[in-house]
Amino acid sequence: MTASSVPSPSTERIVRGACPHDCPDTCALRITVRDGVAVKVQGDPEHPPTHGALCTKVSRYAERTYHPERVLHPLRRIGPKRAGEAPRFERIGWDEALGEIAGRLGAIAARDPEAILPYSYAGTMGLLQGESMDRRFFHRLGASLLDRTICASAGAAALTATYGGKVGMHLEAFAHSRLILIWGSHSIASNLHFWTFAQAAKRAGAKLVCIDPRRTETADKCHQHLALRPGTDGALALGLMHELVVNGWIDEAYVAAHVQAGPRGWAALRERALAWPPERVADECGLTADEVRGLARDYATLAPAAIRLNYGMQRARGGGNAVRLIALLPCLIGAWRDPAGGMLLSASGWFPRDGVALQRPQLLGARRPRTLNMSTIGDDLLRDGGEPLPDGSRFGPRIEAIVVYNSNPVAVAPESAKVVRGFERADLFTVVLEHFMTDTADLADIVLPATTQLEHLDVHTSYGHTYVLRNEPAIAPLGEALPNTEIFRRLARRMGFDDADFADDDEALARQAFGGAVDAAALASAGWLKLPLPDAPFAHGGFPTADGRVIVDAPQHGVPDYLPNHESPRSTPALAARFPLAMISPPARHFLNSSFVNVRSLRAIEGRPLLEIHPDDAAPRGIADGQRVRVFNDRGEHHCHAAVSTRARPGVVVGLGIWWRKLGEDGTNVNQLTHQQLTDLGRAPCFYDCLVEVSTAPAPAEGLRPAEALG
């Protein structure tokens, strides 16, 4: 952001913005600014997906921006790196901070730039602050590349393998569906605006079915809840296909015209589905055969039928195959013929973003750096240079420096005991761009103050609707905070990078983001624009594949099938004998991954870290509601409090996350227990593929305070 773009104080005005957070809705915001201070953040009533409403989290965004614990000046570590201890930092100036960073990175790059790793994700979903000048900087440096997998890459790879891209229904069309399967989604908490359209359909007579191992508040408000076992979604999809075939419910004309033909196409999938009668599905999923039959009958006969799939169900070993199978269901019944039929997991593939213009990969030249997976950062930070890897390759240089922005890996990455040990390395140079002293910032060498969404320019796409949005800076940056774009611009200058690519200001980046496919002036004037797409995008086929047909036999992936979890009573019975409970760890309703955990009003609603456990599992363990419990496996242990209820199905516990570790009961969170094994497609983490045991726990050790007592 240039000095000329900083807003001037005025008596009162309304500024258009966009929600930056990792949520399908990407709301359009209206920020009320009074005398240079943001006093209210509201949803834009004119933006159809937002229609004036915001989730509780984002409605508190001003509280987050003006939080008394905001990092507002560059900081340098002056004490040791020890998780769980109060970190010691001193304030320094920007010139000193940038000089030290440039000096350390320059010395490492002179030996091997691949020893430097960027680490970022969706702390902001904006194209400017999330994936523009930062990528240019690291490309020019020649640093290791980051495989950004931690949330959605299994589902994204599955959609691309099936439809040719991340595409789906229009959000507003769900209001006209007669059946909606809400699959792997707690929509009230994580997809509020879809829920509004689903409720409109319900009032018009539609049936809502929730498919989720947990009985969420969303499930409470649906007509039916199917509490399947974690990771068995692919088996359920195959069972539905079985019933569609044997009952003659296949739309043969649509399949013949728009689904891959031949012996490795629909014929192969049909044969696979016929091996999954309702009784087998029920046994695998923990349902009844009648529930499987009834769901298939509803799906075939209540037209138009729509599926709102979300990313929770792809966080298991077979998550990619499960998404492929579910994505094929609307093709088999011809649901795509109607605007209110089909499926939506992600709409992000509709947007004409120009990644080459924004990120400038040509700055790499002939170099081809290694790519490291953000989901295995725990292992990778502890690896020696040249270490042999399981696939027969070698690791390359030891990671000597990591630059973290838009992420909090110490809290959010799996198997966090290893992540902590990696970030505690005295020889690792760590730079963190942040709003607050998160678990990761506590272990940094340099912390740089970043702007919040109210303080910088950005442009946004969405994965839950088909509107592009622009976010205007509503207030001047607080303290010495700078946008990510400006931080990397300044750092590039200090590194001696004089390429013209680093001269682009944020307005120039905003014009480049869509490669001319979006009218930048119209977007700046209106704040949001709807993409020009057909109401029923696949009524006549035309999927973004090579031949326009849906793919069944995907290259390198074959015909989709059900894959059981890495860890489950059925796939690993010896492990389950010691750790018999499956654990899933969805976000608590008023948190968004690790964002908002330090906002007092939201943390007060959540109270303390909880583990939901069914009465049938609590009773034999002597666990009472509210009791402090120990959740453990071979990777570690986590202390929290039991919520004994039927929200968890028998055999499954729900660790609501993601609390900052230092705000937890014992300096841990649920990721102390998760593993670093990956999904079948997309190289994604398996957060909901995890076995644990639970026991009662003693009172906190002396010196530890319960989360609700922490400031």
- Give tens-digit pLDDT for 280-308: 999 999 999 999 999 999 999 999 999 99
Work out the average pLDDT over 527-545. Answer: 97
Residue-wise pLDDT tens digits, 115-159: 999 999 988 889 999 999 999 999 999 999 999 999 999 999 999
**What is the three-state SS of 581-638?**
EEEECCECCCCECCECCCCHHHHHHHCCCEEEECHHHHHHHCCCCCCEEEEEECCEEE
Backbone CA torsion sign across 513, 517, 523, 524 = positive
> Which stretch of 23-32, 363-372, 531-540 has the lowest confidence by average pLDDT?
23-32
pLDDT of residue 590: 67
- pLDDT above 80: residue 705: no
- How confident is the model at residue 702, as a pLDDT? 56
User: What is the percent of the chain with per-residue pLDDT over 70, rounded to a whole number?
Assistant: 96
pTM for this entry: 0.95
Residue 582: C-alpha distances to residues 57, 212, 415, 494, 691 (Å): 29, 14, 16, 50, 5
For residue 711, what pLDDT is reported? 36
pLDDT of residue 482 exceeding 70? yes
Q: Kindly report, residue by residue over 388-438, the tens digit of the pLDDT.
A: 988 889 999 999 999 999 999 999 999 999 999 999 999 999 999 999 999
Q: What is the mean pLDDT of residues 35-50?
A: 93
Q: What's the average model confidence in pLDDT over 234-262?
A: 98
CA-wise closest residue to 178 among 196, 200, 205: 205
Is 238 a residue whose pLDDT tops 80? yes
Question: What integer pLDDT is reported at residue 60 of this predicted model?
Answer: 84
What would you report as the CA-atom Rg of the chain, rounded to the nearest whole angstrom?
25
Q: Per-residue confidence at 633, pLDDT binned at 50, 70, 90?
A: very high
Write down the mean pLDDT value for the chain. Answer: 94
pLDDT at 591 > cutoff 80: no
How would residue 9 be classed by pLDDT, with cut points 50, 70 and 90?
low
Q: pLDDT grade, residue 193 (50/70/90)?
A: confident
Residue 300 CA: distances (Å) to CA of 4, 279, 304: 58, 19, 9
Tell me, what amino acid is at 304? P
Residue 469 — very low, low, confident or very high, per pLDDT cuts 50/70/90?
A: very high
Q: In the chain, count of helices (H) and strands (E)? A: 25, 25
